[in-house]
Amino acid sequence: MAQSKLFSPVTIPTRRGDGLTLRNRAVLAPMCQYAVEARDGIPHSWQLVHLGSMAHGGFSLLHTEATAVAAEGRISDKDVGIWNTEQEQAWAGIVDYVHGHGARISIQLAHAGAKASTYAWLPGEAGQGRSGSIPRSDGGWQTVTSSDSELYGLAPAESMTREQIQRSLRDWAAAAQRADQAGFDAIQIHGAHGYLIHQFLSPLSNRRTDEYGGSYENRTRYLKEALAAISEVWPAQKVLGIRLSGEDWVQGGWGIAETVRLAGELYDQGIRAFDLSSAGIGPFRGPSGPGYQIPLAAAVKQSLPADAFVTAVGGITQAVQAEQVLVTGQADGVSIGRAALGDPQWANRAAERLGAEKAYPPHYWRGRW
Ligand SMILES: Cc1cc2nc3c(=O)[nH]c(=O)nc-3n(C[C@H](O)[C@H](O)[C@H](O)COP(=O)(O)O)c2cc1C
């Protein structure tokens, strides 16, 4: 069989330097673990084992779970963060381990905005009445957003003042600086799924009347300013990426035409890795099923210069399916989420199916795939 595209190496370019070379194009999607029982945002043994096992499993680039740039930006109180030194140091150990097993690691920097301060989405929580916003009496906190909206069905969020916006831009930059110090190879800005950045982008959630709301230019301003703040501290030799919701899947919402336009502008601002997801603002849902978001990645890929690294995500579970996405030029890589939770050796199993070389630790040399 011809050499597998999925298992061909790829280099994501950077603003300066040689770029970041990945051993294959099977990427681990960012996935919240809600595992910080101490509620201090510090990653610990769970994150090490979780991400370490994915490095053992042959993935080339691992995205961390959404990692909050500020305490109030956590989706739940069990989220990880990178707003202080202890968190940075704990991440550094995990980064080293992943590097020691041939994978690269990208931190997903996130702020949940109005969707913060909610109970962890874990089995058993809702049964005990723990779903939706955490009340103040149980440790919940005041959330912030572009402009408050009923769409989330959560406790009301404060519309951010200009001072709060400025402060949060500093949070993005400080988190990026810590991510660099922790040794991360890449940043993925979480601009998707109805979280703070998306709350500014979407006309459904952003009803501001100042320079951060209204027109496309104004709704994209917060993201572009956050990106500019990050770029000032994030080394030009390292990869800058973003995850966007390509569609709100509702009339009058954020859509693929705006996404394509924004992707081009972000490319010009230095972003080279684009991960195309969808939805998250309010109750609106689009298609689901095998490869349901691939057309969004394809649209962005077609519009960008050839050196952009565009990943498709969502309902990609089979080796041949992933190979087809790449061979047909719809994306440059695939992000694997739930299939990796079910099988951390997903990438090695796919390599076996496609007759490609696996990447496992020597201790597993007698394994069977
Ligand atoms: C348990 C779980 C946690 C997730 N957490 C995040 C997250 O932290 N950040 C993010 O951008 N997407 C998150 N997602 C979405 C996944 O990255 C992915 O886009 C989605 O699951 C669709 O891909 P799949 O069909 O391969 O699972 C999460 C998904 C799951 C299943």
pLDDT of residue 2: 65
Q: For residues 195 and 115, is the Cβ–Cβ distance under 8 A?
A: yes
Q: For residues 206 and 219, is the Cβ–Cβ distance under 8 A?
A: yes
Ligand 1, closest atom to CA 192? 11
Protein residue with its CA nearest to atom 15 in ligand 1: 31
Q: Which pLDDT tens digit goes with each residue over 218-260? A: 999 999 999 999 999 999 999 999 999 999 999 999 999 999 9
Kindly list the catalytic residues.
Answer: 195
d(CA 69, CA 46): 20
pLDDT of residue 284: 86
Ligand 1, closest atom to CA 338? 27
pLDDT of residue 126: 81
Q: Which two tokens stand for residue 88?
A: 């940075």
Residue 314 CB less than 6 A away from ligand 1: yes
What's the Cα-to-Cα distance from 99 to each of 54, 75, 183, 286, 334, rounded to whole Å? 12, 28, 10, 37, 20
d(CA 336, CA 356): 18
Q: Which pLDDT tens digit goes with each residue over 196-207? A: 999 999 999 999
Q: Which CATH architecture is the domain 10-359 placed in? A: Alpha-Beta Barrel (3.20)
Q: For residues 105 and 47, is the Cβ–Cβ distance under 8 A?
A: no
Distance 365 CA to ligand 1 centre (A): 30
What DSSP state is assigned to residue 208? Answer: -
Distance 237 CA to ligand 1 centre (A): 28
Residue 278 CB less than 6 A away from ligand 1: no
d(CA 64, CA 72): 19
Angle at 42 between CA 46 and CA 314, to 5 degrees: 60
**Cα-trace Rg, the chain:** 19
* 3-state SS, residue 20: strand
- Residue recorded with tokens 């950045």: 197
Distance 161 CA to ligand 1 centre (A): 31
Q: Is the sign of the CA dihedral 72, 78, 82, 88 positive or negative?
A: positive
Q: Which pLDDT tens digit goes with each residue over 102-119? A: 999 999 999 999 999 999
Q: Which two tokens stand for residue 296?
A: 């969004």
Residue 197 CB less than 6 A away from ligand 1: no
Specify the amino acid at residue 182: A
Protein residue with its CA nearest to atom 21 in ligand 1: 337
> Domain segments of the chain: what residues?
10-359
Protein residue with its CA nearest to atom 30 in ligand 1: 31
- The packing angle between helices 45-56 and 85-99, to 10°, is 20
- Each residue's pLDDT, cut to its tens digit, for the chain (369 residues) gives 469 999 999 999 999 989 999 999 999 999 999 999 999 999 999 999 999 999 999 999 999 999 999 999 999 999 999 999 999 999 999 999 999 999 999 999 999 999 999 999 999 888 888 899 999 999 999 999 999 989 999 999 999 999 999 999 999 999 999 999 999 999 999 999 999 999 999 999 999 999 999 999 999 999 999 999 999 999 999 999 999 999 999 999 999 999 999 999 999 999 999 999 999 998 888 999 999 999 999 999 999 999 999 999 999 999 999 999 999 999 999 999 999 999 999 999 999 999 999 999 999 999 999
The candidate with the shortest Cα–Cα distance to 25, out of 48, 39, 8, 44, is 8
Helix locations, the chain, DSSP H: 45-56, 85-99, 162-181, 196-201, 216-219, 221-233, 256-268, 294-303, 319-327, 338-342, 346-354
Residue 204: count other Cβ atoms within 10 Å of its Cβ: 20
Distance 209 CA to ligand 1 centre (A): 33
